[in-house]
Amino acid sequence: MNERIKETTLRLEASDLEQAPRYLEFLCECADPRCTDHVEVTPEEYEEIRSEPTQFVIRPGHENGAIEDAVWSCERFVVVEKEVAQDFLEATDPRA
């Protein structure tokens, strides 16, 4: 939800500054809960990443090979697929 609000805001800013790179900034989604690094992704890249619900975008070097497989990388970010994401969410669900 917060991501969607931020995306809309950045798109409005981008239309004012046509020469500026159209990057969205996201919090790194790596396995470290203390990580506060940000990742820059274009709207097109973000849509492609989010087309798969098990894919997450993280900073290069933040991969955790035990639970994630890198499926796409560039100098700005790495997209990982968390195959155990669903099991992990269920295991850590405070209501379970």
| Residues at the interface with Zn ion (CB under 5 A) | 28, 30, 35, 37, 59, 62
Phi and psi of 3, rounded to 5°? -60, -40
Report the nearest approach of Zn ion to the CB of residue 85 (Å).
16
Query: Would you call 49 helix, strand, or coil by DSSP?
Result: helix
User: Are 69 and 81 contacting, i.e. CB atoms less than 8 angstroms apart?
Assistant: yes
Report the nearest approach of Zn ion to the CB of residue 68 (Å).
11
> How many CB atoms within 10 Å of residue 41?
22
Report the nearest approach of Zn ion to the CB of residue 44 (Å).
22
Nearer to Zn ion, 61 or 94 (CB): 61
Nearer to Zn ion, 6 or 11 (CB): 6
